[in-house]
Amino acid sequence: MATTPQLWSELQATFHKDLPLTSQLHTLLLQERSALESRDYDNIKALLATKNSLVNSLKQQANTRMHALQAAGLQDEASTLKAAEQEAPIVAKAWRQLAQQWDECQHLNAVNERILQRTRLVVTQTLDLLRGANQQNRLYDPKGMANNNSSGRSITSA
């Protein structure tokens, strides 16, 4: 394994940038959850724009890290982390801290996604009721989206 002080320095620099970005993303995901729960759609739009910007910045940092690891001839994160624990404990600590934050962000994002899916289901069911759509004839397309092929009468035309 071709680890050098320069590699550890580069990794530390990316972690130093990622930790506050990931912390901001964590806070933003909590705000997004609150906005989803209260159906504050204007706020959700603003949060999504910020979220996309943060995620893009984090992707750039991940690419920088990947290039640094590849330039050093490293492909396996687990063995690189093990080497960091021995050669650069501060880098390993930041790496683990960042990984923990990412896990928390992934969990929060999954919760928000479930809220969105549930909201979408409720809205779809409500619209189907207003349109007089028959739930019995519901089919799904290849993407898993519901198609309603019924020709039920709309509540407004009843």
Kindly state the average pLDDT of the residues 95-116. Answer: 94
Kindly state the average pLDDT of the residues 99-115. Answer: 95
The answer to whether the beta carbons of residues 29 and 10 sit under 8 Å apart is no
pLDDT at 140 over 60: yes
pLDDT at 68 over 80: yes
Burial of residue 132 (CB within 10 Å: 0-12, 13-18, 19+) is middle
In this prediction, residue 135 carries a pLDDT of: 57
Rounded CA Rg of the chain: 23
Tally helices (H) and strands (E) across the chain: 4, 2
pLDDT at 96 over 70: yes
Kindly state the average pLDDT of the residues 87-104. Answer: 94
d(CA 57, CA 68): 17
Say if 16 falls within a structural domain. Answer: yes
Lowest mean pLDDT among 99-103, 125-129, 136-140: 136-140
Say if 131 falls within a structural domain. Answer: no
Say if 9 falls within a structural domain. Answer: yes
Q: Give the end-to-end CA distance of the chain in Å, rounded to a whole number.
A: 74
Kindly state the average pLDDT of the residues 116-121. Answer: 88
Q: Pull the structure tokens for residue 6.
A: 């320069």
d(CA 20, CA 30): 15
In this prediction, residue 127 carries a pLDDT of: 85
Mean pLDDT is highest, among 21-30, 39-48, 76-85, for 21-30
Say if 133 falls within a structural domain. Answer: no
pLDDT band with cut points at 50, 70 and 90 for residue 139? low
Tokens 């001839």: give the residue: 73
More confidently predicted of 3 and 62: 62
pLDDT at 149 over 80: no
CATH number reported for the structural domain that contains residue 43 in this entry: 1.20.58.300
d(CA 127, CA 121): 10
d(CA 148, CA 135): 8
Structural domain for 92, as ranges: 5-113
The answer to whether the beta carbons of residues 9 and 87 sit under 8 Å apart is no
Say if 148 falls within a structural domain. Answer: no
The total of structural domains in the chain comes to 1
Say if 82 falls within a structural domain. Answer: yes
The pTM score is 0.74
Say if 130 falls within a structural domain. Answer: no
Say if 46 falls within a structural domain. Answer: yes
Kindly state the average pLDDT of the residues 34-48. Answer: 91
